[in-house]
Amino acid sequence: MKLTTNSLLRGFLFGTLVWCHTHANAQKPEPLETPLLEKAYTHFKESQLTERRFGYDKIAPLIESRSTVFEQQVLGKSVEGRPLNALTYGTGPTRVLLWSQMHGDESTATMALFDLFNFLEGSGEDDFAAIRKVLQEKLTIRFIPMVNPDGAERFQRRNALHIDLNRDAIRQSSPEAIILKAARDDFEPEFGFNLHDQNAYYNASGTSNPATISVLAPAYNEAREVNEGREKAMKVIVGMNRVLQEEIPGNVGKYNDTFEPRAFGDNFQKWGTSTILIESGAYPNDPEKQYIRKLNFMIILNALYEIATGIYAELEASAYQAIPDNASRLMDLLIKNVRSEINGYRYVTDIGIRRRVRYQEGIRYEQGEVADWGDLSIYYGYEELYAEGMTVTKGNVCEQETAIADLSREEVLDLLREGYLAIKTSETNKGMVHDLPILIVTGEQLPDLEPSLSNAPNFLLEKDGEYLYAVVNGNLIDLQSPGNKSFKQRVQ
C-alpha cells in the first residue's frame, strides 16, 4: 500500500493524540475507595480516646507525643489558662484549617482528628504512603483540636465566661474567639473545616432516619448567594457525601443555611475561606459516638485528599442541593394514640419524650422530659409504641422506706405491675445513680406523678384494668415482657 505524506502526517498526529489521552488518563487521580478509608481508620484509631467526655488533660499528652512531622505551637490560652494548641502538617501551597470543639460538649470530631494525626505519622512504606505524600506536598494543614478547653472540662457548650463561642466571631468577648480569629487571619486558609456535634433529634427531612452527619457550606450573606468560595465548599461536600452514602445511606442531612452574622462558620465564608461545616448527630446504639467518629475520620481524610488532588473541582455543586435538609422531628420515645383524661374530658393524644444525658461525678445518666403532647403524626421515634386502647394513668409512691441495696429487679417490676412508680429511701442516698427501673425518692416531698406536658415522663399505660407498660424517667418498660433493659438514673 502506498502511503502519502499527508496520510503519514495524519497517522502521526492520531497516534500522538491517543498517547496523550492515554497518558493523561493514567495520571488522573481517582477518588479514595471507602474500604481503604475504613482500613485506615481501623489501623490508626487513637486507643486512648474511647468516650465522648474528656478534658484537655486527656489530649495534652497525645499532643506532646506527636512526631516532628507536625509543627506545634500554642496559639494562646483560655479564660482559665488552658492552652489552645495548633498542629501543622505539610508544606504545600493550599492551606487548610480545621478546628474542633468550639463547644465543649461536642467532641466527636476531636477524637477523629487524633485518629488522623496517627494516620499522618504512619510508616512511609504502608498502604497509605501515596495518600500521605500528596497531602504533604500539596497542602499545608493546620489543626486546632480543642478551641474551648474550659467548656470541655465541664462537658458544657459554653466557655468559662458563659459565652457561646460560635456567636462571638464579631464581638470577640472571649480570649478563645480572639485566638481563633487571629489563627484564621495569620494562616489565611483557602479551605476551613468547622467541626461540631448536633443533638440526636435531627432527622433527614421526610424520613425517620437520624441525621447522623449533617453538612453545610455556610452562607456568607443574608441573601445566601453562592460565590466561587461557597461553591468550592459545596463541591468538597459532594465528595464527602459520596462516602457517606456508601456507609450510611439516607442518614445525611443538610444544615440550615440561614446566615448567622455572629457565627464563625458564616464569617469564615465571608472572609474568603471556603468553609465546610460537619455536624455529628446520632446513630442507633452508638451513645459514645464511636461509629460517628469513624465517619468523621473517613470524610475528613477523603476531603483533604480531594482538595490536594483537585478531584473536588470536577464535581457538580448541584449535587449538594440534592442532599435532604435537616429536620428536628425525632423523639427518643413516641407513644401514639393513647387515651388521656383531664378534668373529666377524655381525648386521644400522642406523647413525645426525649432524654437528656447528664453527668454526676463523671457517671453518665439520663433525665427524661415530655417534649411534646398532642398530634405528633409528623414526628418519628427511635422507639415507638402504638397505644390504641390504652390509657395514660398516674402511678403511686410506695412510702415504706427501702434500702436500695435490698431491691432486686424482679421486686421492682412487681411494684410497677401493682401501680407503683416510685419508692422512698433514706436521705443519705440522695444524688446517687442507680439502674433500677423505678424512681427512688428521698425526703418528705414526693414527686408529682400526674401525667402532663409540664411534669417528668413518669406514668403507667393501662388497658382493661391491667398495667401493660410503665414509663419511668422517659424509658418504656414492657411489664409483660420486661427483658433486661438497663438505664441509669439519679435518686431524687
**Same domain assignment for residues 106 and 211:** yes
**Same domain assignment for residues 303 and 396:** no
What per-residue confidence (pLDDT) applies to 27? Answer: 77
Of the candidates 244, 36, 54, 264, the one whose C-alpha atom is nearest the C-alpha of residue 145 is 54
CA distance 316 to 236: 10
**Same domain assignment for residues 274 and 152:** yes
What per-residue confidence (pLDDT) applies to 20? Answer: 41
Full residue range of the structural domain in which residue 183 is found: 31-327
Contact 431, 376 (CB under 8 A): no
**Same domain assignment for residues 335 and 228:** no
Q: Which of 327, 352, 378 is the last residue of a domain?
A: 327
Q: Let me know if residue 286 belongs to a domain.
A: yes
**Same domain assignment for residues 341 and 300:** no
What per-residue confidence (pLDDT) applies to 13? Answer: 41
CA distance 450 to 427: 24
What per-residue confidence (pLDDT) applies to 291? Answer: 98
**Same domain assignment for residues 386 and 295:** no
Give the contacts of 157 (CB within 8 A, at least 6 positions apart).
103, 104, 105, 106, 151, 164
Torsion of CA 120, 124, 130, 132, to 10 degrees: 20
Contact 352, 381 (CB under 8 A): yes
* pLDDT tens, per residue, the chain with 492 residues: 334 444 444 444 434 433 344 344 457 899 999 999 999 999 999 999 999 999 999 999 999 999 999 999 999 999 999 999 999 999 999 999 999 999 999 999 999 999 999 999 998 788 999 999 999 999 999 999 999 999 999 999 999 999 999 999 999 999 999 999 999 999 999 999 999 999 999 999 999 999 999 999 999 999 999 999 999 999 999 999 999 999 999 999 999 999 999 999 999 999 999 999 999 999 999 999 999 999 999 999 999 999 999 999 999 999 999 999 999 999 999 999 999 999 999 999 999 999 998 888 778 888 999 999 999 999 999 999 999 999 999 999 988 877 777 788 898 899 999 999 999 887 777 778 888 888 888 877 788 999 999 999 999 999 999 999 999 999 999 999 887 777 788 887
Q: Which of 327, 349, 366 is the last residue of a domain?
A: 327
**Same domain assignment for residues 356 and 268:** no
What per-residue confidence (pLDDT) applies to 14? Answer: 39
Helices 56-64 and 108-120, packing angle to 10 deg: 10
**Antiparallel, parallel or unpaired: β 191-197 and 274-280:** parallel
Q: pTM of this prediction?
A: 0.91
**Same domain assignment for residues 271 and 232:** yes
Chain mean position to CA 106: 7
**Antiparallel, parallel or unpaired: β 489-490 and 433-434:** antiparallel
Q: Which of 283, 312, 327 is the last residue of a domain?
A: 327
Q: Let me know if residue 404 belongs to a domain.
A: yes
**Same domain assignment for residues 347 and 226:** no
Q: Let me know if residue 12 belongs to a domain.
A: no
**Same domain assignment for residues 366 and 428:** yes
**Same domain assignment for residues 158 and 99:** yes
Q: Let me know if residue 23 belongs to a domain.
A: no
Angle at 210 between CA 205 and CA 212, to 5 degrees: 110
What per-residue confidence (pLDDT) applies to 26? Answer: 53
**Same domain assignment for residues 123 and 97:** yes
Q: How far apart are the two ends of the chain, measured CA to CA in Å?
A: 100
CATH for 174: 3.40.630.10
What per-residue confidence (pLDDT) applies to 245? Answer: 98
Of the candidates 110, 108, 104, the one whose C-alpha atom is nearest the C-alpha of residue 87 is 110
